[in-house]
Structure 1
Amino acid sequence: MAAERWKLTLIKILEQLDDQQYEKTLLLLKKIPKRKKEEKSRAQMAQTIIEHYGDEKSVLEVDRIMKVIPRMDNAVQNLLRPFVEKIKAGKKRKLEADPETGLKMLRQKSAAGKKRKLEADPKTGGKMLQKKSAAGSKKNQVVSDSSGKNKEPGKKRKLDADPKVPRTPNIMEQKSAAGKKRKQEDDPKTGGKIVQKKSAAGSKKNQEVLDSSGKNKEPGKKRKLEADPKTGLKILQKKSAAGSKENQVLSDSSGKNKEPGDLKSPQLDEVQPSSSWRKPIAELQNGVDLSQKSVVGKVVEKSDLRTYETKEKQKKFFFYLGIADDSGCIKVMVYGKDKYSVFKEGECYNFRNVIVEENIMKFTSKSSTSRAGKLDVPKDLEQKARMLIYGEDPVVSIEEIKRLDEKERVSVEGTVIEIRKTDSVVTKENQTKIKIRKFKLEDRTRSIYITLWGKGIQHLKGVSVGDTVKVTNLKTNHCNETVSLNSTDSTRIIKLKCATLQDVQMEIVGIKKAGKLQMELDIVIDKQAKFFSVKSAVLAEALGVQQGSDVEKRLLEKIPCLAKAKIKGDRILKLTGMKDEERVQMRM
């Protein structure tokens, strides 16, 4: 296992966790002292985890914690699973190659997840299979011969004696042609046989009188309900198809299973409705047959068209989708140029007859799709689905970014404090003109300018000053001893929190740009000068003039002037107190 690759993956896993999940993860990392968990970035914490647990053990520990949190969705498991599987495969090969034991590791979990223990019985020369009952105190014992096979094929019986009833020790009689055996005890009063069973509490014994033919005197009974005085539960005992095994299921007074995963008697089962036509994304697994199921998902992100070559050297087209539902998200590979116009970002679709390989859902020529109704997809899953297409570089504070070398790939979070207008520059490489747009981001450490290039400027659509955003997959840029960030083809802007509505007292000191529908004003708030945009209609109403009249001329007559305003980011939504406001004397 490449240590460096695991470290980078661990950083990405930690970045996928929200604050609550991350805090819980730190709490579960018992080997790491508390002082080493404080005031560290997630990238630094990844290194700390590896230092304390080592490469392999850190993988297994993170795998354990993700199950506890829980984070079993594809966004985390797709990153973690390859490392876990590699470690398990290595351990299996090591055990198989051990010349001393020559054993292979074959581990299987039972349906209830119970552990079994084999113990040798010196009296019978066999082995006893012990299983803890629901109360955790009683054990069922099965006698097996030296070959490891049960002396009573397919049966698990309790060999407990009732001290009140005399019995002949170890009498096993053939009951039927199928080889069923029971432990029987003669009842001197009835001349019959008594079958003894312990209840779940192990405190009471029910006796069932059998006649000489071995049949119940009460033939209508198929199973025994034994009351547990401590829990008020019943034990349903049933025979398997071979009539040889007994499963115990705890049920409440209504007869329903207390735990839905327990085995139930088929006679008591109600008819279950047919399985749903829809397969949730969180339940998708590699190689699962989806021919009779549909996957419903919202297209959050769509990549550009890409190409690949077949074995016959033919050029083919494909593209990726990042889709999500209310349970998880997954990356979709769509084959065919003609399908590119079918899927649109923000729309929901039914995906039929798809296949899942290597944790990617593949939409082939045999697959089909249709428009679906709106899905309620959590915001965090939308963000993860968006990152499935291009991935996400580690989030780094602006202060740390300032110390990085040039062309280092990072992501950054912060509040937008300035957005500049779109501009054009000529590139040095091919002397072509390209559009750029700059904005300034600030976090708790420092601030930095980010330049969006070409098509990247579209990602600022809907973003305002005051919004808290995450900007992914940027590259550091050094110019004239100033560090800034440049966008890449995979840069995306994710809005984390919208700017809040504020009531402020402002001073209008100038007009930067005037238009028929909108104006840009030079404003001073709390002794800081900023540019704000305002609709001409809002300004006309505040000045008490008709819309369409010379608002700019009227405003120039009044400024500098004070006003009360409702602002959101860098936009003025409402202005009051300007009609009777006198001209403010210019400050020297």
Structure 2
Amino acid sequence: MKTSQMNMSTISEKDWKTALTEILEELDEPQYKKMMFILSDIGKRVKTTKSREEMPQVIIEHYGVETSVHKIYEIMDQIPRRDAAVQDRLRPFVERLKKKQEDERRAPGPSTGATGVRALTDESVSSSSRKRKVDKTESAGSVMPKKKKTENKVSSLKSTGATKTTKAAAPEKPKEKENKQKAKKKDELRSLQPDERKSIHDVKISGDLGNKPIAGKVLAKSVLRTSKPPKKEKMFFFYLGVADETGSIKVVVYGRERYQRFQEKSCYLFRNVIMDENVMKVTKKSGISKMAPIDVPENLEMEAQRLGYSQTPVCSIRQAIGSEGKTSVSVEGKVTESVSSSSRKRKVDKTESAGPVTPKKKKTENKVSSLKSTGATKTTKAAAPEKPKEKENKQKAKKKGKSEFVDKHRMKLIERVSNVNPILEELFKKKVIQQDAYDKIDKLKTYEDKIRALYNGPLKAGDSAKEVFYIALNKHEKMLMKDLS
């Protein structure tokens, strides 16, 4: 560890470590691997055994605070990550380092080079031995100031044997710079398109994460909670309600330090997470980074809000009234009147669902007369309950739409479906085909014959069979279904 440098640094090690942690979390997997490759001074074993969250401490210990700032500054330029998400976190430390170097240059007497860091600012140079016009922009290497005998000022720069003159890059025009920034931003967001990430719908059905990240919009965030497993340290965690274009999911995030990272209404990429039934777990080894906005349907937003806020089962008002005093409950109901702090009443025609509330008892009775809001109470707008007939009609229309799709694209599906065996497995599990039909179709030689046999046999059973077939196609023939849709 470069202890002397860290002690002399004007940069807070704690602040730099926090910023560096956030910078590394913004990198996707290829960018992080490229960074590890560039950090060749750090041993390969250390880089492979330490997690992404542990690497900031390793980098600071290896290079020292100021040198590590300069090193990361160079690497982010090479990767490249010159976008605001990285540069806004890096810039304050780079500016502070530049200022210190400028102060050292202005100080009287020879420079001690205490920082041990290469200068981050550009220096211009001119030759003093002869006067000539130069069309190029040039930068000077090592030069020795030549002093006049009668003055104490530097009047010229005398070139030495070590002086090198190199052509510097011409300054970028504003339009060129803007176009480059747009291209970088577009390239950065390219990896976030739906076909290159795992959808929440697919994760919940298959439970298989694969190597793709999961993207989602945070619609709800619970309060920070704690638990203390036997013989272990107290553990901090909190819940998120997350949704994308296809579904919603409850997320458990472990670690107090990550609580401030997540903001409601913002979108994030999740990597290296753990699926436990229908709950996604974000651990110390998981990677999180902000991403471009996702267009989430309103009904999925409301689902995600309930997942994040309601950690106790939603009950009716009648059940809440029957609860013991000071019991935390989640209640769903229609608000007809709202009483303000000044006791004024106003009518509210929205349907709302309340988060954790504490029933308040009357002194003379053993019944709950009102619901008392606590610091953890959240009130969110809920979807109005559908009438049984409306719900039934919607389900029928949905099923009919899938059935019509299967009928409409019969010839194209026969010709183009190639991933037949997993589809047969799905149909067998859902009892659309029996064992003898499965064996008979499986023995056919070509994909076309197998799909044609499905159409001529099991799929004639009706809309329910075609719906299962449609779902299986969506799961195992995504690109084809996207093309046909």
If the length of structure 2 is used for normalisation, what is the TM-score? 0.37
If the length of structure 1 is used for normalisation, what is the TM-score? 0.31
Higher relative strand content: 1
Higher relative helix content: 2
> Which structure has the higher relative contact order (CA within 8 Å, separation 6+)?
2
Structure ID, larger Rg: 1
